[in-house]
Amino acid sequence: MSTSTALTPPVARVEHKEISLHGHTLVDDYAWLRQKSSPETIAYLEAENAYTEAVVAPTQDLQKQLYDEMLSHIKETDVSVPYLDRGFWYYTRTEEGLQYPIYCRKPATPGQPFPTDAPEEIILDVNQQAQGHDFFAIGGLAVSDDTHLLAFSTDTTGFRQYTLRVKDLRTGQLLSESAERTGSIVWATDNQTLFYTVEDPEQKRQFQLFRHTIGAPHSEDTLVFEETDERFNIGAGRTRDGQFIVLESASHTTSEERFLPADQPTAAFILIEPRRDNIEYYSDHRHGHWYIRVNDTGRNFRLVTVPVATPSRNHWTELIPHRENVMLEGIDLFSTFSVAFERRNGLEHLRVLRFPGNGPTLGESREIAFPEPAYTAHPHINRGFDTTDYRYSYQSLVTPGSVYEYSLNTGESILLKQQEVPGGFDRTRYHSERLFATAADGVQVPVSLVYRKDKFEPGKNPLWVYGYGSYGYPLPIGFNSNRLSLLDRGVVLAYAHIRGGGDMGKPWHDAGRLMQKRNTFTDFVTVTEHLLATDFGDPARVSAEGGSAGGLLMGVITNLRPTLFRAIISHVPFVDVMNTMLDATLPLTVPEYEEWGNPNEPEAFEYMLSYSPYDNLKPGKYPAILVKTSLNDSQVMYWEPAKYVAKLRTLKSPDDRPLLLHTNMAAGHGGASGRYDYLKEIAFDYAFLLRELNAV
């Protein structure tokens, strides 16, 4: 994509600002862009948007073509798999032409399947709620035990600041209840008491738990708990058997939990085990015992059990030991069995374990088998406690999202629904595989790969590499029909499971955070070089994409190896590491010390400064870069990518490789909220990418 010489990019005003610390002086010429309410800031962002639109104008026909292609692969009118909960079948559906889902239910008859012909009750039509708003998102939904009341929360800006409301499902009317900046929503069993968490408006963390009685004034709500440590967020929920409300306080590395009987909403919460630094635990209840997943004896977690009456750790009994090569990611508890969600060698495994009786002793186990070399499998919606069936989701890079039901009695899985992909999709035309790239220190880094068989020519295909590598989040390997538009044009897609993520368990995360963070970036470069060395791509047509912390990754690899990549797409990128992490007044900064380090400490400062993208830009050649952000982003503030692009404009060598910034002026961290609007954003990205890779 060549940039017309008639197009002149915006030039941001320079206003010199310095921070001196630990013998360094950090210069920030564009700090003024933090002034969100300033007309000058808005004018600059809009000028960048206009420039971007002008540069990509020649791709408008391609964008339309891509949008139509992607839309053709979506079943616009569709229904999710219904699930049973307290006498109703619940499901969501979409309608052609409508941006948002519709939440529905139908009455259930005991022992009978979903009644297709029964009258439908719409409990919440998000399209109606969203009328008049450029952005709209649902935060949480919770139906009271008697099924009469729906508590839900909404965000109309993208800043992830939710307003709580309550709807009477018998009349369809909204009640007077309302609360701002809410998070978790939990009903007590009396159907009149509602617990909700609230965020600190300055630190943007959930820090208070309130108890509300339906019909009472909001001013009379009782503050039940307040988390004073600003590293910690709180969240609340019900155990699957419905007997307890559990309140969790958690940082990135430490957690503790409290509980109270769900039928005693005015009782005091009871602490299970006091927090200890770098120890996390998560609990659920079954027949008078807590089952606790905890990483006290090893990073990859073990499972212990303890009577409700004596929950502290000196009473814990081990059920599943810690294992060096197996990450215990979760436990689903039911009356007669449990399902262990494990990760081995980077892949998910679901292991079903029977309970011989009501006690906590585990009996025989059986693993659910999966057929492909790279896939994602995880629990689906399982609301019932007394059941012998278990639902899980499965998909891969070539297999659309599927919901299965495993029978404990037969040991067999039945497919309930697979995502329909219209428009002529044939999975046999595509090939998926898993390989490993060897890092400089000998570590084997997993890579998941997919391409269209008849379009593949060794060493000649355009290559797209995606990465994240932070917070211990495993990179999911799922099906995305949008990416057929890339695959069908011969692009090889690769997903790099780099250190810093959770793909190989907690130690994999530890090996890519704090003072080992650079492993994340060098792993990504290693993966890209390995793919080229094994002929999975044309060295002249390599691209990379990442978002948020993955946008940090994009910024670092661009500085490390600018000539390795032809094009970079960076979404809401965390690129101004030093200025953000030195400002404790910003939302999320202090909790993030556990991931990146505290730059007020000299050693951490030096290390973070060594890779911070904004601080390491220098004159030279750069790839074609598309940077995307949102004005109302609450996670990575819009000014980070805006400042990054403004500075880079003064440093990159003149050439035909564009540097583009696009700001969604009415959205947050995830971009557009409506499904059609979001599809247009993807078409925009793909048109940029395909032009740069000469793969139109």
What would the pLDDT profile of 29-51 be if each residue is shown by its tens digit?
999 999 999 999 999 999 999 99
Average pLDDT over residues 157-172: 96
Within a domain: 366: no
Q: Are residues 68 and 208 in the same domain?
A: no
86 and 68: one domain? no
Confidence label for 668 from pLDDT (cuts 50, 70 and 90): confident
| pLDDT, tens only, 416-435 | 999 999 999 999 999 999 99
669 catalytic? Reply is: yes
Residues 64 and 155 in one domain: no
- Report if residue 380 sits inside a domain: no
Q: Is 39 exposed, middle or buried (0-12, 13-18, 19+ CB in 10 A)?
A: exposed
Is a pLDDT exceeding 60 seen at residue 313? yes
Indicate if the pLDDT at residue 5 is higher than 50: no
Q: Which of 255, 485, 543, 548 is catalytic?
A: 548
Is 22 among the residues known to form the active site?
no
CA 19 to chain centre: 33
**Residue 434 φ then ψ, to 5°:** -130, 130
535 & 621 share domain: yes
Which amino acid makes up residue 360?
Answer: P
Statement to judge: residues 121 and 181 lie in one domain: no
Residues spanned by the domain of 191: 143-279
> Are both 124 and 246 inside the same structural domain?
no
- Residue 31's Cβ-count burial label (10 Å; 0-12, 13-18, 19+) is middle
Contact 151, 662 (CB under 8 A): no
Distances (CA, A) of 75 to 102, 239, 482: 15, 35, 12
Task: State the maximum Cα–Cα separation within the chain, in Å, rounded to a whole number.
Answer: 77
Measure Cα distances from 74 to 71, 77, 78, 96, 670 in Å: 5, 9, 9, 10, 20
| Confidence (pTM) | 0.95
Q: In this structure, is residue 350 part of a structural domain?
A: no
Residues 173-218: tens digit of each pLDDT: 999 999 999 999 999 999 999 999 999 988 899 999 999 999 999 9
Print the SS3 string covering 559-610: HHCCCCCCEEEEECCCCCHHHHHCCCCCCCCHHHHHHHCCCCCHHHHHHHHC
Residue 322 inside a domain? The answer is no
Tens digit of each residue's pLDDT (9 = 90 or more) over 81-105: 999 999 999 999 999 999 999 999 9
CATH number of the domain enclosing 162: 2.130.10.120
Would residue 198 count as lying in a domain?
yes
Say which of 634, 669, 673, 685 is annotated catalytic: 669
Q: What is the pLDDT of residue 3?
A: 40
Of the residues 633, 662, 673, 685, only one is catalytic, namely 633
**pLDDT band, very low/low/confident/very high, at 2 (cuts 50, 70, 90):** very low
Q: Per the domain annotation, does 301 fall within a domain?
A: no
Residue 148 falls in the annotated catalytic set: no
Last residue of a domain, one of 279, 312, 339: 279
Residues 434 and 557 in one domain: yes
Mark which of 132, 154, 176 sits at the end of a domain: 132
Pair (110, 252) in one structural domain:
no
- Verify that 537 and 643 share a domain, yes or no: yes
Q: Enumerate the β-bridge partners of residue 376.
A: 395
Residues 493-542: pLDDT tens digits? 999 999 999 999 999 999 999 999 999 999 999 999 999 999 999 999 99
Is residue 430 domain-shared with residue 553, that is, in the same domain? yes
Residue 110 has pLDDT above 70, yes or no: yes
**How many domains are there within the chain?**
3
Same domain, residue pair 169 and 242: yes
Helix axes 675-692, 39-56, angle to 10 degrees: 60
CATH of the domain at 658: 3.40.50.1820
Shared domain check, 678 and 534: yes
Asked if the structure places residue 393 within a domain, the reply is no
> Alpha-carbon distance 207 to 227, whole Å?
5
Identify whether 320 is part of a domain. no
Last residue of a domain, one of 248, 279, 310: 279
